[in-house]
């Protein structure tokens, strides 16, 4: 049903009332953004089901374990990923503003932080280039293996322009792990050629895929290579795990980088040129049947802005009922 955004925010803050108020606010910011932007698979669905994120119990305060003028390694001590990645993005922004680059590693946080777009957009709004990748539990194969090796290992990029930031994010897998779980729960078949069973045969059966592996996004060597790159950058580099390392403390890792364009060019010139690049892509000749060219992040921003203008957001009734919001 359509719910007033201000009302939904109050209810979300109620759900996270035992959290640090700043963290609770940033969690609500993210969840509202995801629902408003139509990124429903990365939104309030995280509050229901077997492991609702509001039930997480941190093991202490977030701890900076290593720090320089351009870097920080954060032990998140089981704090919620959605809150921690915003703290990490703010740290990256602050260091890049001051010293040109901020490179922030995070380990030991609670599950997925959702859409990379939200965080790299935050960095891009500060006039910086944002790069963000995650290592997640191993579920994706590659290189001629039939075992799960890498996580679905998403990566996102954000660039400042004269208008809204240009944002691109993607999983390095042919489908998200969450998508696989949903298909399994609903008893739906998978698309052909996205997953293999335990013996390495292509399967459309989600339960067989859960015992097998997801394929790289291009079903090939390059996709596996990019998955491996993310596995290292957001795994061993940030004191998180790799391949078969199991358990909450190791299975999730994050690397956020903010680059100040003024290290290499003038920031205003850079923004102008990024705006010009967007205009030129949009103005290029289109495939038959394409009315216009849709750039990454455009659809989500359009939906977000429409929700913002109306003051209302559409949320799944089942989720609202389970949370007793209605």
Q: Name the segment binding its own copies (CB under 8 A); options: 9-17, 32-40, 277-285, 315-323.
A: 277-285
Among residues 166 and 323, whose Cβ is nearest to its own copies?
166
Among residues 7 and 268, whose Cβ is nearest to its own copies?
268
According to the binding rule CB under 8 A, does residue 202 interact with its own copies? no
Q: Name the segment binding its own copies (CB under 8 A); options: 1-9, 41-49, 266-274, 311-319.
A: 266-274
Annotate each residue in 216-255 with x if it binds its own copies (CB under 8 A) or - if it does not, as one string.
-xx-xxxx-xx-xx-xxx-xxxxx--xxx-----------
According to the binding rule CB under 8 A, does residue 52 interact with its own copies? no
According to the binding rule CB under 8 A, does residue 295 interact with its own copies? yes
Distances (CA, A) of 39 to 21, 36, 88, 228, 303: 25, 8, 22, 26, 10
Among residues 240 and 323, whose Cβ is nearest to its own copies?
240
According to the binding rule CB under 8 A, does residue 64 interact with its own copies? no
For residue 44, which of 320, 275, 326 has the smallest C-alpha distance?
A: 320
For residue 274, which of 167, 169, 170 has the smallest C-alpha distance?
A: 167
* Cα-to-chain-centroid distance, residue 227: 15
Q: Name the segment binding its own copies (CB under 8 A); options: 39-47, 48-56, 282-290, 302-310.
A: 282-290
Non-local CB neighbours of 141 within 8 Å, separated by 6+ positions: 147, 148, 149, 196, 213, 214, 215, 216, 224
According to the binding rule CB under 8 A, does residue 194 interact with its own copies? no
CA–CA separation, 320 vs 326, rounded Å? 6
What minimum distance in Å lies between the beta carbon of 162 and its own copies? 12
CA–CA separation, 169 vs 159, rounded Å? 12
According to the binding rule CB under 8 A, does residue 192 interact with its own copies? no
Q: For residue 172, what are its two tokens?
A: 């390095």
What minimum distance in Å lies between the beta carbon of 316 and its own copies? 26
- Contact by Cβ (8 Å): 137, 149: no
CA–CA separation, 60 vs 78, rounded Å? 8
List the Cα angle 238/239/245 in 5-degree steps.
120
What does residue 155 show for φ and ψ, rounded to 5 degrees?
A: -140, 140
List residues near its own copies by CB under 8 A. Answer: 66, 68, 70-71, 73, 99-101, 103, 105, 129, 143-147, 149, 157, 159, 166, 168, 170, 200, 217-218, 220-223, 225-226, 228-229, 231-233, 235-239, 242-244, 259, 261, 263-265, 269-270, 273-274, 276-277, 280-281, 284-288, 290, 293-296
């Amino acid at each position: 049903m359509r719910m007033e955004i201000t009302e939904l925010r109050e209810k979300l803050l109620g759900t996270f009332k035992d959290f640090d108020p700043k963290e609770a606010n940033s969690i609500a910011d993210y969840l509202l953004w995801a629902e408003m932007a139509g990124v429903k698979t990365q939104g309030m669905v995280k509050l229901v089901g077997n492991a609702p994120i509001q039930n997480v119990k941190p093991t202490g305060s977030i701890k900076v374990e290593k720090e320089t003028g351009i870097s920080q390694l954060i032990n998140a001590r089981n704090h919620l990923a959605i809150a921690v990645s915003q703290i990490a993005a703010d740290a990256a922004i602050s260091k890049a503003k001051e010293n040109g680059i901020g490179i922030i590693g995070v380990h030991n946080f609670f599950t997925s932080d959702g859409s990379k777009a939200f965080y790299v957009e935050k960095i891009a709004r500060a006039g910086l280039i944002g790069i963000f990748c995650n290592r997640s539990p191993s579920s994706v194969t590659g290189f001629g293996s039939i075992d799960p090796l890498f996580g679905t290992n998403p990566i996102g990029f954000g660039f400042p322009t004269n208008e809204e930031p240009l944002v691109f994010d993607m999983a390095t897998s042919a489908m998200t792990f969450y998508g696989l779980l949903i298909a399994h729960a609903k008893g739906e078949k998978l698309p052909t050629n996205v997953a293999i069973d335990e013996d390495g045969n292509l399967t459309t059966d989600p339960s067989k895929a859960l015992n097998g592996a997801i394929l790289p996004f291009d079903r090939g060597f390059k996709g596996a290579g990019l998955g491996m790159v993310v596995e290292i950058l957001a795994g061993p580099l940030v004191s998180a795990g790799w391949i078969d390392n199991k358990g909450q403390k190791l299975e999730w890792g994050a690397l956020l980088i903010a680059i100040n364009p003024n290290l290499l060019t003038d920031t205003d010139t850079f923004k102008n040129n990024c705006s010009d690049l967007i205009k030129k892509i949009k103005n290029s000749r289109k495939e038959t049947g394409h009315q216009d060219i849709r750039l990454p992040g455009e659809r989500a921003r359009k939906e977000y802005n429409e929700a913002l203008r109306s003051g209302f957001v559409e949320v799944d009734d089942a989720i609202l009922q389970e949370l007793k919001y209605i």
